[in-house]
Amino acid sequence: MEDRGLTEYDLADRREQAQRLVLVTGPSGAGRSTAINVLEDLGFEAIDNLPLSLIPRLLDGPVRPDPLALGLDVRNRDFSTSNVIELIDRLTRNPNYAPEVLFLDCAPDVLVRRYSETRRRHPLAPDSSPLSGVTAEIDLLSPIRARADVLVDTS
């Protein structure tokens, strides 16, 4: 029997049977929580701020009937750019999952304004200006932004 590889029909069928999984991320203040809530309203099972090390346990087992949305940000325990990239790569290679990365972006000046309006401290700059936290976070997340399937500017 000759192996001809997967046809487009086979790939489409595999995608239909795979667990749809949206990883929602972006800089703090860009609207990740709002996006998670919208996805939940659209029928996704939504989980925000789950430690990255627990995601494999969550995904263990049979495919869920509902798509899954996971909110990831710098406040997640064990968050690092390399851990998120590794997670994306692992999920992409696994035929049981159809991962998508939704990256919510925002102009730095808008993020700083949002922080000053809410009087909250930036998670990466709890003792300094929001601008230093915003700048550090944008730099930290740039490799993940480059891997995004969907990029939304919420400015």
Tell me: pLDDT of 109 over 50. Answer: yes
Sign of CA dihedral 91, 95, 97, 98: positive
Tell me: pLDDT of 113 over 50. Answer: yes
**Can you say whether residue 52 is alpha, beta or left, with left for phi > 0 and alpha for psi between -120 and 50 degrees?**
alpha
User: Using one digit for the tens of pLDDT, what is the confidence trace for 2-35?
Assistant: 444 545 544 455 556 788 999 999 998 899 999 9
In percent, the amount of the chain with pLDDT more than 90 equals 50
Cα–Cα distance, 53 to 79 (Å, whole number): 9
Domain residue ranges of the chain, discontinuous segments joined by +: 16-153
pTM of the model: 0.83
| Confidence class for position 65, pLDDT limits 50, 70, 90 | confident
CATH H-level, domain 16-153: superfamily: P-loop containing nucleotide triphosphate hydrolases (3.40.50.300)
Cα–Cα distance, 79 to 55 (Å, whole number): 12
User: Using one digit for the tens of pLDDT, what is the confidence trace for 66-97?
Assistant: 899 999 988 877 888 999 999 999 999 989 88
DSSP 20-33: EEEEEE-STTSSHH
